[in-house]
Amino acid sequence: MASDTKKSAVKKAGAKAPALSLHLDDQLCFALYSASHLMTRAYRPMLGALGLTYPQYLAMLVLWEADDLTVGALGERLFLDSGTLTPLLKRLEALGLVERRRDPADERQVRVRLSDAGRALEAEARRHYEILVCNLGSTGDEVRALRDATVAFRRRLAGGA
């Protein structure tokens, strides 16, 4: 049934179905997976200098963008559930970078806000990121174009427009 749906979608678009290959190098999933792995490796020196893991860095990016968020809002931005996010936030709190507090307006909610040390880390992260992008041998426009294409693809995977 699923293949019938795909065939009708291809017919509606007026396009011919692509030839499918199970060769590793022809797999989009492998191209994305291996690029992600290599990108994480490229970030390793910067993250070491910042004293953060990659998921911790992503959480800090969100908080530098919009401080004082609920754990739920932070999880939505990072595509993480609270069971994954809570231990990560506890470690960031132990590092003195964030503070977690119950929301006085709704005790069920936990809010996360940057500490002074967490705010100060942003300038250092920015310097390291600029060096990283420069070392990638790409222009800012190339990086933005690849990011935009990847975000659009992620939206299609998630079922959005």
Per-residue confidence band for 45, with pLDDT thresholds at 50, 70 and 90: very high
146-161 pLDDT tens trace = 999 999 999 999 887 5
Please tell me the pTM assigned to this model.
0.81
Tokens encoding 138: 């790409």
89-136 pLDDT tens trace = 999 999 999 999 998 889 899 999 999 999 999 999 999 998 888 888
Q: What proportion of the chain, given as a percentage, has pLDDT over 70? A: 88
pLDDT at 86 over 90: yes
The per-residue pLDDT for 7 is 53
The per-residue pLDDT for 13 is 56
pLDDT at 52 over 70: yes
Per-residue confidence band for 11, with pLDDT thresholds at 50, 70 and 90: low
